[in-house]
């Protein structure tokens, strides 16, 4: 058995990380599953007792989601409609047992290609706040996650919060997940969209697709092509297969072929767009 440290202050946690590498543990929902049937012999830094890391705060121009905020905390927080997509993702993370323990920040740090939290946070232009004994920095989510199980977090850093920029009140969002069963399912494809309507047209829009690439991807060309388009019946017709295929080259695996994922991603992007357009008061 390794050392287990559960500091009460962030400074103590950062001090420990400065001295030596630790496995950082919060909700445990990824830590333990990766260690089934083997000894727990690593040095573990349990950050769940660190003061001030849990909860969602209004920080002026953005919302600050503390690193220990669980999926259930998010679901129970009164937040604007721009968070509805993220909340839908929260309901799809494991069962309620997992939602009660697992954290949004942990979901980012685990960096699974099928992480439910990544597409909605990307579509919200969220960023990640990191701290080390040497200082703090903020990295956009789409740059923070760099590959399958890889992130920008350095060995002496800890994620302290996720920052979500505030949006106009009219902003709407959604999240769609495709899997082979109802609960407890790993995505075949997922799509998140955040839409700011602008006078009956698409204003700012964020569209991201998960489980179709090592890291979820924003569909920036599609976003550009849709910006300014009227929220009408022709909207979803503007989404072409090439918008997906040019960005994503999903692999074949037990959950579905790459070709199927591409096709399904197109269907889900259109359906999600139709949903947010309807939420925004358009007719699509």
Evaluate whether 179 touches 185 at the Cβ level (below 8 Å): yes
Which residues have CB under 8 Å from 261's CB, separation 6+?
188, 189, 211, 212, 248, 250
CA-wise closest residue to 29 among 101, 93, 104, 117: 101
Check binding of 78 to other proteins (CB under 8 A).
no
Among 13, 46, 67, 161, binds other proteins (CB under 8 A): 46
Considering only the stretches 56-64, 126-134, 147-155, 251-259, report the one whose residues sit in contact with other proteins under the rule CB under 8 A. Answer: 251-259
Q: Could you give the 3-state DSSP secondary structure of residue 173?
A: strand
Considering only the stretches 38-46, 78-86, 166-174, 211-219, report the one whose residues sit in contact with other proteins under the rule CB under 8 A. Answer: 38-46
Considering only the stretches 39-47, 133-141, 204-212, 214-222, report the one whose residues sit in contact with other proteins under the rule CB under 8 A. Answer: 39-47
Q: Could you give the 3-state DSSP secondary structure of residue 1?
A: coil
Phi-psi domain of 154 (left: phi exceeds 0; alpha: psi -120 through 50; beta: other) = beta
Among 10, 12, 28, 201, binds other proteins (CB under 8 A): 28
> Minimum CB separation from other proteins for residue 1, in Å?
5
> Minimum CB separation from other proteins for residue 42, in Å?
8
CA-wise closest residue to 122 among 217, 43, 51, 56: 217
Check binding of 169 to other proteins (CB under 8 A).
no
Give the footprint of other proteins on residues 176-235 (CB under 8 A).
Answer: 178, 180-186, 188
Can you give the C-alpha Rg of the chain in angstroms?
19
Binding site for other proteins (CB under 8 A): 1-4, 6, 25, 27-29, 31-33, 36-41, 44, 46, 48, 72, 91, 94-98, 100-101, 178, 180-186, 188, 254-257, 260, 263-264, 267-268
């Amino acid at each position: 058995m390794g050392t287990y440290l559960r500091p009460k202050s962030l400074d103590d946690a950062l001090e420990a990380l400065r001295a030596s590498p630790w496995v950082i543990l919060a909700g445990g929902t990824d830590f333990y599953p990766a260690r089934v049937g083997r000894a727990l012999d690593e040095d573990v830094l349990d950050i769940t007792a660190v003061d001030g890391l849990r909860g969602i705060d209004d920080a002026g121009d953005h919302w600050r989601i503390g690193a220990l905020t669980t999926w259930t905390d998010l679901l129970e927080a009164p937040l604007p409609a721009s968070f509805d997509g993220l909340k839908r993702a929260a309901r799809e993370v494991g069962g309620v047992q997992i939602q009660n323990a697992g954290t949004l920040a942990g979901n980012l740090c685990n960096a699974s290609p099928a992480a439910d939290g990544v597409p909605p946070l990307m579509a919200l232009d969220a960023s990640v706040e990191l701290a080390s004994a040497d200082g703090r920095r903020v990295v956009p989510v789409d740059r923070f996650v760099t590959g399958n199980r890889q992130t920008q977090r350095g060995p002496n850093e800890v994620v302290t919060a996720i920052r979500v920029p505030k949006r106009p009140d009219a902003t709407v969002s959604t999240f769609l997940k495709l899997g082979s069963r109802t609960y407890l399912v790993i995505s075949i494809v997922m799509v998140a969209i955040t839409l700011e309507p602008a006078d009956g047209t698409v204003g700012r829009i964020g569209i991201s697709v998960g489980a179709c690439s090592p890291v979820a991807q924003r569909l920036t060309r599609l976003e550009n092509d849709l910006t300014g388009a009227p929220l009408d019946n022709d909207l979803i017709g503007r989404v072409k297969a090439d918008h997906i295929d040019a960005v994503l080259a999903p692999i074949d695996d037990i959950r579905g072929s790459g070709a199927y994922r591409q096709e399904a991603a197109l269907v889900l992007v259109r359906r999600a767009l139709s949903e947010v357009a309807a939420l925004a008061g358009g007719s699509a």
